Structure 1
């Protein structure tokens, strides 16, 4: 399964923040520079991470972003589920073989196995 850039950027951002000292706020530009990401796209990802309470954002001179939960509370599979538009590896909705093909069931099983394989791995487990 290939993750979208949005999910990739979200995971990288969380990993970057997880490696920082406690109470050390980071600017989005710093993460964009570290991973060579477009700052505009990363800003959209940061906004979504904030809406989902993965991070806290602050404005002003002492602003920046930081983790909104502990590293142990942020599960990798949750981030993937929250950011991936679809976890199905193929679009079987408009397929001519729909109903006469057994592939859709096996692809769903494989997708479930991918998510299950992440278990309860948190940011703390992979940092």
Structure 2
């Protein structure tokens, strides 16, 4: 499955650190915004999460930084679903400099579906799981 764009934006000067490139806290924030767009495509919309008493929690996040991003750079994040389990999903984001096409960073996250009242993991509803399975990437060949 082709990765879908889940975020588009720009790097603002106030997001840059003392050496002039986007600070790591903003990479995390932009990846987080991509999470919510990916979740919505899977049926984990804000209205679903509110009405069902469910939520999503990241339990593991691994970021690899490949190229710096500077103030004014336009970025795009594309996301792919790697794994669907009963109560969790694993997905990868790829952040690129939209002008050059260079990959700036990648982020792989494991997220758990939660019952917000019980504060425990909960199985995905059948309808959500069905949608997620349709978005699942093909297994990589060895």
User: TM-score with structure 2 length normalisation?
Assistant: 0.27
User: TM-score with structure 1 length normalisation?
Assistant: 0.29
Larger radius of gyration: 1
Comparing both structures, which one devotes a greater share of its residues to helix? Answer: 1
Comparing both structures, which one devotes a greater share of its residues to strand? Answer: 2
